[in-house]
Structure 1
Amino acid sequence: MSSGAIDIDEFENADADEFEERNDTERIVLFLDKNDDRAWKAATIAEQLGLDTDAVSAILSRLKERGLVRHKRPYWAITDDKERLQSAYRLHRHHETADEHYGEERLEELQTDKMEDVQ
Structure 2
Amino acid sequence: MPIDIETFESSTEDRLQHNGETNADRVMQFLAANPDQAFTQSEIRDATGVKAGSISVVLSRLEDRELVRHKGNYWALGEADDVAAYTSMVESTRTANDRFGEEDMDEWLEHAVDDEDTE
Q: TM-score, normalized by length of structure 1?
A: 0.59
Map 1:37-48 onto structure 2 (within 5 A). Answer: 37-48=36-47
In the comparison of the two structures, how many residue pairs are matched?
89
SS in 1 for 2:102: helix
Alignment-derived partner of residue 6 in structure 1: none
Alpha-carbon distance, 1:36 to partner? 1.4
Residue matched to 2:60: 61
Tell me how far apart the structure 1 counterparts of residues 48 and 30 of structure 2 sit (CA, whole Å): 8
Which residue of structure 2 aligns with residue 84 of structure 1? 82
Q: How big is the alpha-carbon RMSD for the aligned residues of Structure 1 and Structure 2?
A: 3.0
Amino acid at match of 1:66: R
What is the CA–CA distance in structure 2 between the aligned matches of 1:54 and 1:75, rounded to whole Å?
A: 17
- Percentage identity across paired residues of the two chains: 26
Counterparts of 2:93 and 2:38, CA distance in 1: 29
Query: What's the TM-score, normalizing by structure 2?
Result: 0.59
Distance in structure 2 (CA, Å) of the matches to 1:75 and 1:101: 36
Equivalent residue runs for 1:70-109 within 5 Å: 70-79=69-78, 81-94=79-92, 97=96, 100=102, 104-105=108-109
Partner of 1:24: 23
Structure 1, unaligned runs of 5 or more: 1-19, 110-119
Q: Which has the larger radius of gyration?
A: 2
How far the C-alpha of 1:105 sits from its partner, in A, is 4.0
* Structure 2, unpaired ranges of 5+: 1-18, 114-119
Cα distance in 1 between the residues matched to 2:104 and 2:50: 30
SS at match of 1:30: helix
Rate the CA distance shift 1:22–1:102 in 2: closer, same or farther, 3 A.
Answer: closer
